[in-house]
Structure 1
Amino acid sequence: MKQISSLQHVELIPESTIKTIEAGKKMLIKFGADPSAKDLHLGHCVVLFQLQKLQEMGHHVQFIIGDFTAKIGDPTGKSETRKPLTNEEIAINAKTYQEQVFKILDPNKTTVYYNSEWLEKLTSNDLIQLAAKYNVARMMERDDFEKRFKQGQSIGIHEFLYPLLQGYDSVILKSDLEIGGTDQKFNLLVGRHLQREYQVGVEQAIMTMPILEGTDGVKKMSKSLQNHIAIDDEPEDMFGKIMSIPDVILQQYISLLTDESAASIKQKTQAMQEGSLNPRDIKVELGQYIVKRFYSEDRARDAYNHFQTLFKKKEVPDDIPEIQIGSAISIANLVVEHKLLPSKKELYRLVNQGAVSIDNNKITDMHETLKESSSILKIGKRKLYKIILAT
């Protein structure tokens, strides 16, 4: 039996939960994610990797896809009201989440739920009773709500409902433990409170994990901030993004995304600070570890070789994707038709940053037309495409 010592960086409420986890009795462990974006990323993996360890200890995961709560949008850490998603966007993202989560979790020890199954059935009376279980004073203890209130910024009534609805999931599922990032602590405790109020016979314990910073080294990893590493990224992109992270957050990435011991991490950190170990070498090791975990050892080696060719030798790799076009086309239309970027808006942003080039010439107009029979299109630091104009 694995001991709780193998679960690093956790905070448990109550602390006596350690004994329950180690006792061997199967626990129902809840983890929820709103499908607010198309892909899961390494920020989600901090929790998912710990859930994987808990499954190895014999526990069962209740994975909740928040297709109903996504219509509100989690206000946690937000300085303004979130824009609600459409039903179509939620459905597409939810399907992706369900597929991607099993790259990490054991499907035989996981039950997937959509919280619309029970939240859509709530009557007006049910909702009033739920709202009566909590008060505004407690709700305003949340840092984000308190800051917005003091700054005179809008707080929607529907945002108060979010933690109540997330907590109600725990009432329905009678979860023994809920896990989430440290920023979710308030919401998780609401679930524990509601289980007590509804007298469901269990009060879930709370396990929180540190938040992984994005590749900018400043803010929480998030697709909306364009500082994320998606678990469905191509190996070359995944490896390249790992190589781009600031040295100052390298220790955090190793601690939260690998099984390396605290003693080993401390030794490496000290060696980097003393100058006897190059941070680049540690990034190479981490990049290959991450790619191997989601793909294979061969793909990890290929990603490293691709990076070496592209950045160290400054050559164009032989294996870059080719795109054949039948006639002259604008860069904007090419990007949209072949889905090279999520949107023209993203292309516009990159063009303004000087991050798009044709044959090493920076593009200043996204509507510029590709006319050459063969061109190399570079988008950002890592995306290369060979554009071939059929004659």
Structure 2
Amino acid sequence: MSFPSIDEQLNVIKRGTVEIVPEEDLVEKLKKSKKENRPLRIKLGCDPTRPDLHLGHSVILRKLRQFQDLGHHVILIIGDFTALIGDPTGQNKTRPSLTEEEIKENARTYLDQAGKILDGKKTEIVYNSEWLGDMKFQDVILLTSKMTVARMIERDDFSKRYKNNESISLHEFLYPLAQGQDSVHLKSDVELGGTDQKFNLLVGRDLQRDAGQDPQVCLMMPLLVGTDGSQKMSKSYDNYIGIDEPANDMYGKALSIPDELMYSYYELVTDISTDELETIKKRIEEDPRNTKHDLAFTVTRMYHGEEAAKAARKYFEQTVINKDIPDDAPELTFEAGSTHRLLDIIAEANLTSSNGEAKRMMKQGGVSLDDEKIKSPGHEITFKEGDELALKVGKRKFAKLKAV
């Protein structure tokens, strides 16, 4: 196959990238690849510790897709073995262990969602239990001899926990070595990771060098800041935009990001060309409202299609701008004279995942009846003949309540 020029490839690869270690090695690998007409082996490891992906995950998956589009060979590692250890990156305590059943189920949904970004026909999918699971104890001892305790403690997560007298389990030291062993086994040319993965990626270089291989290049992508504008995107912080969630929710959440994050979202999670980004930067300053709507539309279209994105925009205009109840809102009927607890009505309409979530939203002022906020979890409604009430939960969930 014919690869683009080295400069063209670098322009694509470096878009949004925080650090390439070492960049000169990447240039040499790209030159050799083009000269020999041989695609580079690009590796990304993913531990299926959670079933759902969000736009934060899409940043690195999209970079992987860009390598695919440039003609390189992409390897997606499902870390079903390393997930048993638990990545200590960014953790202030030992991760709880997952069962093999949980890992398998998470991996299944992970691959389904990753398929919305990657070209499945050009993606090699492997499971690191295939080689790590076959290692004998003697092999593990030899592997651990490649790394000193002092080097491990240099790692930020471990050094902070050590200084704070917080426990570090010995098996956590094995994680970077296991991830590095993946690189040795797959003979990767480039490994992708977030900025928080730098230590793990560099261990892979060391182990490859020790095995007589040409060390991989480490490419680090930024951690996408969530809709709250402060923390990295995470379900734990409830500041995420899931790539598999309904179009209306995706559109609405995208509109909630702070203006100062718009450019990074355009750069990292959309298909907007690099040339267009300069125009986008000016539009953000001159017309932030419509530029953000365009961002929400673009992101929603990418995962749900043109028609769903148009419907989501219409839904937002109807429910938020015009404050109308959407036509497709569920309608619940109640006998006139009957009394019902609002929590039970919310549960019946499936507007929250649990009573606990409904109570929390009430306390935060996120539940209203005919625009009147209801903050008491014990609130009851006695329906009168002819009553038609509009129930709103959160920013995007509605139900019509009628008395008959």
Please tell me the residue identity of whatever aligns with 2:364.
Answer: Q
Change (3 A) 1:361 1:118: farther
Match of residue 39 from structure 2: 26
> Do structure 1's residue 240 and structure 2's residue 266 form an aligned pair?
no
Alignment counterpart, residue 296 of structure 2, candidates 268, 281, 287: 287
Moved more, 71-80 or 366-375: 366-375
Residues 217-366 of structure 1 mapped to structure 2, 5 A cutoff: 217-261=229-273, 264-270=276-282, 272-273=284-285, 277-321=286-330, 341-364=352-375, 366=377
Which stretch of the first structure deviates more once superposed, 328-337 or 32-41? 328-337
For 1:381, which of 387, 395, 399 is the aligned residue?
395
Query: How far does residue 50 in structure 1 lie from its aligned partner after superposition?
Result: 1.6
Q: Which residue of 2 aligns with 1:155?
A: 168
Give the Cα separation in 1 of the matches to 2:187 and 2:195: 22
Equivalent residue for 1:86?
99
**How far did residue 323 of structure 1 move?**
7.1
1:31–1:64: 8 Å Cα contact kept in structure 2?
yes
Task: Decide which of 101, 117, 131 is 2:144's aligned counterpart.
Answer: 131
Q: Point out where structure 2 has 5 or more consecutive residues left out of the alignment.
A: none
> d(CA) in 2 for partners of 1:172 and 1:328?
66
Match status 1:49 vs 2:55: no
Paired residue type of 2:80: D
**Paired amino acid for 1:297:** E
Preserved CA contact (<8 Å) 1:59 1:109: no
What do residues 118-158 of structure 1 show as CA deviations (whole Å, max 9, x unaligned)? 33333322222222221111112222222222223222222
Which of 16, 19, 22 aligns to 1:9? It is: 16
Q: Which digits, 9 at most, give the CA deviation of each residue in 1:174-216, with x for residues without a partner?
A: 22211111111111111121222334x3422211112211111
Q: Distance in 2 between matches of 1:126 and 1:369?
A: 65
Cα 1:165–1:329 change in 2 (3 A) is farther
Secondary structure in 2 matching 1:158: helix
Quote the residue 2:227 is aligned against: 215
Residues 51-66 of structure 1 mapped to structure 2, 5 A cutoff: 51-66=64-79
Structure 1, unpaired ranges of 5+: none
8 Å contact from structure 1 (residues 214, 221) kept in 2 = yes
2:46 is equivalent to residue 38 of structure 1:
no
1 CA distance for matches of 2:83 and 2:334?
39
One-letter code aligned to 2:254: I
Moved more, 126-135 or 219-228: 126-135
Q: Is it true that 1:142 corresponds to 2:159 in the alignment?
A: no
Matches for 1:50-199 after TM superposition, within 5 Å: 50-199=63-212
Cα offsets for 1:19-59 (capped at 9, x unmatched) = 42362421221112112222111111111112112111111
For the residue of structure 1 that corresponds to 2:154, the secondary structure is coil
Task: Give the deviation of 1:293 after TM superposition.
Answer: 1.1
Q: Deviations over 1:314-370 (max 9, x none)?
A: 111112356799999866677778865555554443333222345544444557677
Q: CA RMSD in A?
A: 2.9
The CA distance in 1 between the partners of 2:345 and 2:106, in whole Å, is 24
SS in 2 for 1:233: coil
* Cα distance in structure 1, aligned partners of 2:359 and 2:21: 46
Q: Which moved more, 1:330-339 or 1:134-143?
A: 330-339
Tell whether the 8 Å contact from 2:284 to 2:291 is kept in structure 1 after alignment: no
When Rg is computed on C-alpha atoms for both structures, the one with the higher figure is 2
> Is the 1:376–1:385 Cα contact (8 Å) retained in structure 2?
yes
List per-residue Cα deviations over 1:1-29 (Å, max 9, x = no partner): 44221221323222131342362421221
Q: State the SS of the aligned residue for 1:130.
A: helix
TM-fit CA distance, 1:284: 0.8
Check conservation: 1:37, 1:223, Cα contact below 8 A.
Answer: no
Deviation at 1:96, TM superposition (A): 0.4
1 CA distance for matches of 2:201 and 2:334? 52
Number of equivalent positions: 386
**2:351 and 2:398 in contact (8 A); partners too:** no
1: CA distance, partners of 2:355 / 2:100: 22
CA gap 1:343/1:92 in 2 versus in 1, 3 angstroms: farther
